[in-house]
């Protein structure tokens, strides 16, 4: 397999899907050497079968807004690969959603789920509907209309969606209720559910907590203590909130948060009281992060991201491609020595190259943010057993999974000079498990 040639063929077949091509390019470039150690993979054309999704489902979603106007959106589900378990991956409601973004996310999800050691395949779905500015009633009607089609393609042993950008507990609840009504069943078909109807403790915290656990593992390889370190965090949703929460608990000093309008910089650090304000602002009032600056009298920069501020560590937790090459060079110049991704593919290829050439500790999202889907997998286990585990039990399992992922990254990513290339380590570890399962199951 020649990675460049394979990517070029995919570009010709899918010319209008830049995010998908970017994700495939990043993975193939790092697994090429390992892939070519297994000639049986090439004889089975494994790489093409692994890059192209099993199926892409698209459908119209028609709903009625509060003014009685009929609205139409597109809905999608990309079921990428189920070699090691049922399809598993989030649903995203955002105006930017399109097949290219969902294909990239589903492709990445396949390897991320493999890294967790749990039996889950890869998928992703969503709609170009945005909950922002919509009433609860409008969000409910949209979620019900979305599920009216999606329910045909999912199930506890077939495909188990979860939340993502724009899809939190509210949206998952509405979708679960409609699935239950349509199928006359009460099964663990969605994860991220409420505690009252099958949700797992620690699931809301899992992605953020898991990223910080992974960061701790990285820092230990250089005998660095997280306590007292100043940390740039982007985003202000679920992932960012619980990233900040765990940082505070471990004695670090988170100094930024952001949303699509801009970012805040709090030189004194975001403490537990300020974080409680952010949770109320974002989760209940659905407000904007600039209101934090107004409340606490700190710096707010409109239309920008926080990567120009000085700190020790950066944890991008918002969305894809939020750190470009210039941002990366600024981070390095300002003394940042570790970057761990809470979002999916938030760093561009140029940014990753800058980080690695500078010798930074850099963890890609498929490894660092795998805690969210890991606890989703644990939620599936609890639903199957009709049991509910304690917070301590779930958190201990999450911590153990993140430690295992880090160990696999070190195993496959350590270079001859001792530098750990976490991108290569994560990609090779995730790839090998899926590839071996596909080979064992034949050409299907």
What are the distances in angstroms from CA 38 to CA 25, 45, 110, 174, 426? 20, 12, 20, 46, 18
Angle, alpha carbons 379-383-385 (nearest 5°): 115
36 is in an annotated binding site: no
180 is in an annotated binding site: no
**Of 124, 193, 246, 366, which one is the catalytic site residue?**
124
What are the distances in angstroms from CA 291 to CA 23, 258, 316? 35, 11, 21
Sheet strand arrangement including 55-64: 55-64, 70-81, 122-127, 87-93, 159-162
Beta bridge partners of 64: 70
109 is in an annotated binding site: yes
Q: β-strands 262-265, 299-302: how paired?
A: antiparallel
Is there a catalytic annotation at residue 397? no
207 is in an annotated binding site: yes
Say how far apart CA 291 and CA 339 lie, in whole Å: 27
Residue 197, φ and ψ in degrees, nearest 5 = -135, 50
Say how far apart CA 258 and CA 66 lie, in whole Å: 30
Q: Burial level of 307, CB count in 10 A (0-12/13-18/19+)?
A: buried
163 is in an annotated binding site: yes
Q: Which residues are catalytic?
A: 124
Binding-site residues: 88, 109, 112, 163, 207, 238, 376
Binding-site residues for NAD(+): 207, 238
Binding-site residues for substrate: 88, 109, 112, 163, 376
């Amino acid at each position: 397999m020649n990675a460049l040639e394979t990517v070029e063929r995919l570009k010709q077949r899918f010319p209008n899907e830049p995010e998908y091509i970017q994700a495939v390019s990043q993975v193939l470039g790092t697994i090429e050497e390992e892939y070519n150690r297994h000639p049986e993979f090439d004889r089975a054309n494994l790489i093409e079968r692994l890059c192209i999704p099993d199926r892409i489902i698209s459908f119209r979603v028609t709903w009625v807004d509060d003014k009685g106007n009929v609205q139409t959106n597109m809905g999608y589900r990309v079921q990428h690969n189920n070699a090691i378990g049922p399809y598993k991956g989030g649903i995203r409601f955002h105006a930017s959603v399109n097949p290219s973004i969902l294909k990239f996310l589903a492709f990445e999800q396949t390897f991320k789920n493999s890294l967790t050691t749990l039996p889950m395949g890869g998928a992703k779905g969503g709609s170009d509907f945005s909950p922002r500015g919509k009433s609860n009633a409008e969000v409910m009607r949209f979620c019900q209309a979305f599920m009216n089609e999606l329910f045909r393609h999912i199930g506890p042993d077939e495909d188990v969606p979860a939340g993502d950008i724009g899809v939190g507990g509210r949206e998952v609840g509405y979708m679960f209720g409609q699935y239950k009504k349509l199928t006359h069943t009460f099964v663990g078909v969605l994860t991220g559910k409420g505690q009252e109807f099958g949700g797992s403790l620690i699931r809301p915290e899992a992605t953020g907590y898991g990223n910080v656990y992974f960061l701790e593992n990285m820092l230990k390889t250089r005998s660095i203590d997280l306590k007292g370190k100043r940390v740039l965090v982007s985003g202000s949703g679920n992932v960012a909130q619980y990233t900040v929460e765990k940082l505070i608990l471990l004695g670090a000093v988170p100094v930024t948060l952001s949303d699509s309008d801009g970012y805040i910089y709090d030189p004194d650090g975001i403490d537990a009281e300020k974080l409680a304000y952010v949770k109320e602002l974002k989760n209940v009032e659905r407000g904007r992060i600039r209101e934090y600056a107004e409340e606490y009298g700190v710096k707010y920069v409109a239309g920008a991201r926080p990567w120009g501020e000085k700190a020790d560590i950066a944890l991008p937790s918002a969305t894809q491609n939020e750190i470009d090459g210039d941002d990366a060079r600024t981070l390095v110049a300002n003394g940042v020595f570790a970057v761990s991704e809470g979002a999916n593919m938030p760093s561009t290829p140029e940014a990753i190259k800058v980080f690695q050439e500078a010798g930074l500790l850099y963890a890609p999202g498929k490894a660092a943010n795998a805690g969210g889907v890991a606890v989703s997998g644990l939620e599936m286990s609890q639903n199957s057993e009709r049991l509910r585990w304690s917070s301590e039990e779930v958190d201990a399992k999450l911590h153990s999974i993140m430690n295992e992922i880090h160990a696999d990254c070190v195993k496959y990513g350590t270079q001859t000079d001792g530098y750990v290339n976490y991108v290569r380590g994560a990609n090779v570890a995730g790839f090998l498990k899926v590839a071996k399962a596909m080979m064992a199951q034949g050409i299907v």
